[in-house]
Structure 1
Amino acid sequence: MLFLCYLIIATMSFWYLLILNKHFRKIKVVTTEPSKEAKFYQQAPGPLPWPILGNLHLLASQKPTAELFTDLSKKFGNIYSLTLGATKCIVINNLELIKEVLNQNGKFFGGRPNFMRYHQLFGGDRNNSLALCDWSILQKKRRNLARRHCSPRDTSPYFSKMSNVGCSETKILIEKLKESNNNSKHIPIKSFVQRACANMFFQYMCSVRFEYNDYDFCEVVDFFDEIFWEINQGYAVDFLPWLALFYKNHMSKLIHWSSTIRRFILNRIINKRNELNSSQPQEDFTDALLNSLTEDKNVSRDTIMFMLEDFIGGHSAVGNLVMLTLIYLVKHPNVANKIQLEADSVSGKEQRIISFYDIDSMPFTMATILEVLRCSSSPIVPHVATEDTVICGYGVAKDTIVFINNHNLNHNKFYWKKPNCFQPERFLEYSIEKTDMNPNEVKKTKSQFWQIKKNMPYFLPFSIGKRTCIGQNLVRGFGFILVANILRQFNVYYENVNNIEINMGCIALPAKPIPIVLVKRNKNI
């Protein structure tokens, strides 16, 4: 027994020495310029790691990870090291360094973490995913293929299609909510919103929509919501792979979710389409994907299926953003009232559905959505160094995980007045460019000339650089349509507003019913 104790102590000591050596060693960086020699750089400072666990014990705090990262920056600076398990990490905490990592040195940080969970979600290989794969030529091709569909200009037919799809599905959603509201005070609002969002993406990308009582469709929407929550969480097994045995059931659940989604997309969409000839017109994103099969030998049918799954899964981000916005509006009814005033003014006597083209006429509504994004500080997916490099004079070894602390950026007093307060007005600026009125007349009609601020380089909800979220226009546009039209028809309440807790470091909400109550507005609209 005594020998066993000595053996355990010796093993732990050996592990600790290895970690300390890795923690304090200098990084040798080989320059690409032949005239310059390789240099050694000290690693960024950080807390001393424990044996085996590294600094994982710090993440066991009750604080959200983003807030913990901000607290550590006050002690170790705007760039510091963490050792999670045996994995070397750095945390970036200010705008200048974020730009240095994602813009100036983006080519060195195009990788993604090699977490076991990521592989399980995408058929055993995370490189099947656009968001979780390492940067590659294939990744660049996939993004170029998707860009015209997912980030259309407001003058393009794709933008018009997005607006029409969003409006038609929102109209159906409102009717469903009214119908359920008549039958019961408590309705599964999140389920309805997520189904509406899923149909928006399916209609826009695949020209197909599903009924809200379609069992397979509802199951897939629920699984997408579970996966969105899953990706935004962290687990010990991500950094201690030898714990996989204890996560066997969890991994099986991930495989079940993803395989069910894949089977649905294959059976209900892809198998019902014929491969297009390049001369045939492309009606939607699915047509463009199928057409790429004949144009690029590196694109397989599996590539198409995973791309479609990835982009359609983006609807979960929209649904969670809408639900999070409704929660904030419950806590801030004065903000909800202002949105309703804008919505009433825009929809007019004809009481039409509010569309994409009304965004400029409802700046306060869009400002509210942006403020929700700022407050939630949804974490940017971690990057990984693909080779030894240097950031801010510190050496960064290949395979180091880079965490971008968006929370510190979005709650920094240097950029935001009263950053802990919910104030959509911070995203608005006053403009008189649209009028020839004299100053006295402008003052009388001041509210007509508010617009979203254009120059806010310190606000990065969708990241920056070559891995910027390609679907951000879909998220903002569909999110705007849903929030504006729901508030035009309903007041939102929560039975016990004092019990509402909001995670300030994540846009994802648990995949469970949220007890928000919708009450039809007294105004006949």
Structure 2
Amino acid sequence: MARRHCSPRESSSFYMQMSQIGCEEMEHFIREIDAKMVPGEPFDVKTFLLRACANMFSQYMCSQRFDYDDEEFHKIVQYFDEIFWEINQGHPLDFLPWLYPFYRRHLNKIVHWSSTIRSFIMDRIISHRELDIDVDEPDSDFTDALLKSLVEDKDVSRNTIIFMLEDFIGGHSAVGNLVMLALAYIAKNPQVGSRIQDEVDAVSSKGQRKINLLDMHQMPYTMATIFEVLRYSSSPIVPHVATEDLVISGHGVTAGTIVFINNYVLNRSREHWEDSHQFEPQRFLEASTEGRRDSRGSDSGIESDQKEFQLRKNIPHFLPFSIGKRTCIGQNLVRGFGFLLLANLLQGYNVSSGDPTTIRITPASLALPASCFPLLLTRRA
């Protein structure tokens, strides 16, 4: 059930719904930042990115969006982001449970964030939806499916469905941080942003329409940039547990042993990547088997060479969403909403930094501090 809603296939109605929701939210997002930013002055992009992402996830999973000035919504988005930062830090407590007494105050703060998020979901989303649930009607969203399972399956508890909604809606923090990192690298490497804008202009008749998910395959460099952010950040990924005794690279591993994939070594190894410590999206591109596209393949009627390249596929040492049964179930949402945000934002704005030294990025982490660096957004002519 979760995979059907949260990892939609490209040919599915859920995927098209996801595209429509993302594009509509971008309209709200662009209007909001146009109203709030002062031209020529640094702007707190991350705050508004996260609110846009939260609305994309909430609208897709719960058929409900919130106003950007809703203070309660703002607080919840901030708490989700704080939690995302915490789980990406690799505290000693994560591996040494006996340290708990030393982290008690810190954990109480996280418990407060979590309980506030749960109360918001209960009060603003679940409560009124429970009254209207009809098990005989088709699911309108993931919340419908969860509430129906609560009615139809005695083994499903209310806590389970609330936890699932918390978990999946919380995925918006990963998307917001991913796009914010992409913007940071673009501010440091303006040519990256220019190449993405070339793709945007080629498929949208130079801004005649918004970018949607159907454009993704026509914009390989944009997706290559997203993948390069994932590679360069190399966040830890969900651990596995050995289900049987086995041998890995000559080392005996007994059943029940927790096994981590060393994502940092995979993504920074000189054995697998040329110039591994350089930010180079083109490493994810290869010559296209389709050949050069002529003007008939462009909305604008302008000949474009973007299709000379395509994304590399099946790179065995690139596992940003893990692998196997514990792979990230929401990876299509991360890629899709991340693509829509990045492409549509760069369609309207050039991104830079008045002081690149303020852009501080933690190695081996997709998370940025809740309060991080501002950026300059300049409307494109």
For the criterion TM > 0.5, the same-fold answer is: yes
Alignment of 1:217 onto 2:73? yes
Stretch deviating more after TM superposition (462-471 or 485-494): 485-494
2:115 maps to a residue whose letter is S
Q: CA deviation at 1:214?
A: 0.6
The answer for the alignment partner of 1:178 in structure 2 is 34
The answer for the alignment partner of 1:261 in structure 2 is 117
Output the CA distance in 2 between the equivalents of 1:248 and 1:336. 44
Alignment of 1:508 onto 2:367? yes
Alignment of 1:351 onto 2:208? yes
3-state SS of paired residue (2:66): coil
Alignment of 1:449 onto 2:308? yes
The answer for the alignment partner of 1:20 in structure 2 is none
2:151 maps to a residue whose letter is T
Output the CA distance in 1 between the equivalents of 2:282 and 2:292. 22
Q: CA deviation at 1:185?
A: 1.9
Give the conservation status (yes or no) of the 8 Å contact 2:39–2:378. Answer: no
Give the conservation status (yes or no) of the 8 Å contact 1:277–1:294. Answer: no
When Rg is computed on C-alpha atoms for both structures, the one with the higher figure is 1
The answer for the alignment partner of 1:363 in structure 2 is 220
The answer for the alignment partner of 2:340 in structure 1 is 481
Aligned counterpart for 1:472 among listed residues 327, 331, 338: 331
Pairing 1:42-121 to 2, within 5 Å after superposition: none
Alignment of 1:294 onto 2:143? no
Q: CA deviation at 1:220?
A: 0.4
Output the CA distance in 2 between the equivalents of 1:446 and 1:236. 50
Give the conservation status (yes or no) of the 8 Å contact 2:288–2:307. Answer: no
Q: Evaluate the alpha carbon distance shift between residue 393 and residue 518 of structure 1 in structure 2; reply closer, same or farther with a 3 A threshold.
A: same
Output the CA distance in 2 between the equivalents of 1:380 and 1:499. 28
Q: CA deviation at 1:377?
A: 1.1
Deviation per residue, 1:328-358 (Å, 9 max, x gap): 1111111111111111222215621111111
Pairing 1:58-457 to 2, within 5 Å after superposition: 145-182=1-38, 185-274=41-130, 276-349=133-206, 351-385=208-242, 388-397=245-254, 399-433=256-290, 446-457=305-316
Percent of counterpart pairs with the same letter? 56
2:157 maps to a residue whose letter is S
Give the conservation status (yes or no) of the 8 Å contact 1:191–1:513. Answer: no
Aligned length: 372
Q: CA deviation at 1:472?
A: 0.4
Q: CA deviation at 1:300?
A: 1.1
Q: CA deviation at 1:434?
A: 6.3
Output the CA distance in 1 between the equivalents of 2:230 and 2:96. 31
Deviation per residue, 1:79-124 (Å, 9 max, x gap): xxxxxxxxxxxxxxxxxxxxxxxxxxxxxxxxxxxxxxxxxxxxxx
Give the conservation status (yes or no) of the 8 Å contact 2:238–2:326. Answer: no
Runs (5+) with no aligned partner, structure 1: 1-144, 438-443
Give the conservation status (yes or no) of the 8 Å contact 2:202–2:304. Answer: no
TM-score, normalising length: structure 1: 0.67
Output the CA distance in 1 between the equivalents of 2:147 and 2:304. 52
1:251 maps to a residue whose letter is L
Give the conservation status (yes or no) of the 8 Å contact 1:363–1:451. Answer: yes
Of structures 1 and 2, the one with the larger relative CO (CA 8 A, separation 6+) is 2
Give the conservation status (yes or no) of the 8 Å contact 1:364–1:428. Answer: yes
3-state SS of paired residue (1:429): strand
Q: CA deviation at 1:183?
A: 7.0
Output the CA distance in 1 between the equivalents of 2:327 and 2:239. 12
The answer for the alignment partner of 2:297 in structure 1 is none
Give the conservation status (yes or no) of the 8 Å contact 1:330–1:494. Answer: yes
The answer for the alignment partner of 1:75 in structure 2 is none
Output the CA distance in 2 between the equivalents of 1:500 and 1:279. 52
Give the conservation status (yes or no) of the 8 Å contact 1:324–1:372. Answer: yes
TM-score, normalising length: structure 2: 0.92
3-state SS of paired residue (2:324): coil
Q: CA deviation at 1:234?
A: 2.0
